[in-house]
Chain A
Amino acid sequence: MARWGMIIDLDKCTGCQECTIACKEENNVPHGSPEEQRRRQDPYWHKVIAASEGEYPTAIIEMVPMPCMHCDNPACVMVCPCKATYRRNDGVIMQNFRRCIGCKYCMVACPYGARAYNYREQEDLPYNRIDPPLRRDLIGAWPFPHRAHGMVEKCTFCFHRIEKALMEGQQIGTEVVPACVEACPAHARTFGDLDDPDSEVSILLSNRTSIILREAMGTKPKVHYLTK
């Protein structure tokens, strides 16, 4: 089984936010009104933070794009009381909206602030997603086929693209990549199988110095950053 991971080259990243916009378009994440953004209640799946260090003549600002880290040892899966957040066999951390009770414990536990809550009924309703499989024979109708308020949502590594590519036999990492990787004008992002030694991500990881965010948390993220 593949173990999907992402490499973000901080040297190439210009902080243009194209990845954020591409994510919003692909997954139909609402943009959030100015009022929502002021109160920080806007839903987001991807963010770009700017970290500055030093004073003016020697100041340095680093743009760090942050999708969900899809940790191998995820804090959110540990604390979710209802198995609404779970780790797929290919390492993608998913949120099942049918099970989520909206307790926000995962938002408290996540060290990367990767999760957002649906504070109101949004105009953009569909998720563009097919998971979880509709076991109507077992569970009945899916109550939340669309975006509804009161649930936590997050980045999915564009798993619908991965699923489609696997079905159609396309090469993931070269032909098919998540929307943010596809959109990056600087080619700062690479997506692929971390377990496959011939994949582009594995080659990059072995050749370049890479870091992961908040390593001390012990979450083992699958999003790696190449340093400047």
Chain B
Amino acid sequence: MELNFVSVEGNSKNYKIAVGVLAGLFLLGLICYAISYYEGHYLFGSSNVIPWGMPIVVLIYFIGLSAGSLILSTLVYVFGQEKYKPIGRMAVMLAIALIFGALVAIAVDLGRPENFWRLFMFFYWNNMTSMFAINGILYSGYFIISIAYLGIILSGNKVWMKRWGCLAIGWAAMVHMGTGAIFGFMAAREAWFTPIKPLEFLTAAVTSGVALLIVVLILTMKFTGRDLRKDMVISLSRLLIVFICILALLIFLDKMTHLYAPERAAVLYSLTGHYAWVFWVLQIGLVVVLPLAILFNKKLRTIKWIFIASLSVVVGVFFERFFLVIPQAGFPQQYYPGHIEGVYGAVGQFAFTPVETLVSLGIISMVVLLFLLGLKFMKALPEKTPEEIAAAAAKIATPKTEEALKTDIPAGPLVVENKPS
């Protein structure tokens, strides 16, 4: 029951165009970052009221996706769910690309990145009561652990795969709960201050991780001309349903604790104020309502609709992070009883600036680029079956149409037999 993995050739026109466009966006982001470093952060949209902007949104989003997909990969290597084996390597590779993107996003948001090394002078020049310092250990450890994990998986040592996988799953959970604690422990920001935040982050991480994996799986299989196993996608989508339900419950509990307590102004504003549509439409709509409506509908149990549902979760979780970091931070703090007049009582406004947007896009395209290069230079994809090779040959003979792509691919065998070489 062995499964051989291969890399993509990377010679097709689509691949080259994708790599070229992504590299261009990355370079643009790099230039914009250099400008922001020399000019100052007035080029970003953040202000004294909303101190954190898009790089932090991208950071926590990527950390979540990374932790989520690493946790999923342990389904294969620790819990022995052999049916997910074709995606195991891809999930770990994705996790590494995403954590790298997250670390870059942290560096981008710092005003003085050349002082960054102080964060790693543990117990000596850094302050270990800070969640940032604790997360410094967690993030850098996670980066090393996931790279070592990929190495072990590639080497194929089953015992160490299991042991290291246990470490990786625990560490990944801690990484994302630590990220939640950055926000959840801030007593001064009423809307953030809740003990449920770390758990909510972890659930959102796993949810978006599953969704991203489905999206990446479908896209990669489609563009490399492999047969997609429909049963695997459907069982992943069932997993997605469970996590979405838990996430919805945690969001509900979080908001209810804040609304029930007398000091409810900040959360009430975030649910009914100017940016409430971000919460109701982009967060609740895209993460909970639309995916559940699709996934619970038996008629829509096709690859195309599952793809749409997963994509909506991936996009929606981004807006969940966005809503947390930007609109919820903008509510003015109650320095003194009564209504605070003037600017100090005004809700913070966030302006999207071209530099910030391009920097964020640059980070995102860097991650996708890393993933594409990883597909080329590492053996992450399952080997093509003889039928797939025959189908590919047939497709070259007869030009394929859009319709042919959209039709559902029938369920194939669970595990591909290793052909004798």
Which positions in A face B, CB cutoff 8 Å?
36-37, 39-42, 44, 47, 49-53, 61-62, 64, 66, 75, 77-83, 99-105, 107-113, 115-121, 148-152, 213-214, 217
Contacts and interface: CB of A to CB of B under 8 A. Distances in A.
Nearest to A116: B48
Given A49-B336, A82-B118, A82-B125, A118 B111 contact: yes
A115 B333 CA distance: 13
Interface in B335-389: 335-345, 348-349, 351
A120 B40 contact: yes
Contact of B187 (A42, A75, A119): A75
Given A82-B126, A101-B112, A101-B115, 15 more contacts: A39-B351, A41-B42, A47-B344, A66-B335, A81-B118, A81-B136, A82-B115, A101-B110, A102-B111, A102-B113, A105-B130, A108-B329, A119-B40, A148-B112, A149-B40
Q: Bin the interface of chain B by size.
A: 35 or more
18 contacts: A39-B349, A39-B351, A49-B336, A52-B341, A53-B338, A62-B338, A83-B118, A83-B127, A99-B125, A102-B113, A105-B130, A105-B131, A108-B186, A120-B42, A148-B112, A149-B39, A214-B334, A217-B188
B39 A81 contact: no
Contacts of A102: 41, 110-113, 115
Given A41-B47, A82-B115, A104-B52, A51 B41 contact: no
Contacts of B336: 49, 51, 62, 64, 213
Contacts of A40: 47-49, 343, 348-349
A52 B118 contact: no
A109 B340 contact: no
A164 to B, nearest CB: 29
| CB-CB nearest 7 A-B residue pairs | A102-B111, A150-B111, A149-B40, A81-B132, A120-B40, A53-B338, A111-B188
Contacts of B42: 36, 39, 41, 119-120, 149
A66 B345 CA distance: 14
Nearest to B42: A119
Nearest to A85: B127
Contacts of B129: 78-79
B200 interface: no
Contacts of A148: 112
B127 A82 contact: yes
A26 B143 CA distance: 47
Interface in B135-164: 136
B340 A111 contact: no
Contact of A213 (B113, B335, B342, B344): B335
Given A41-B47, A100-B112, A101-B111, A81 B127 contact: yes
B116 interface: yes
B335 to A, nearest CB: 6
A151 B110 CA distance: 9
Contacts of B113: 101-102
Contact of A41 (B48, B119, B125, B333): B48
B183 to A, nearest CB: 9
A80 B51 contact: no
> Which one of A37, A108, A116, A148 has the highest number of Cβ atoms from chain B below 10 Å of its Cβ?
A108
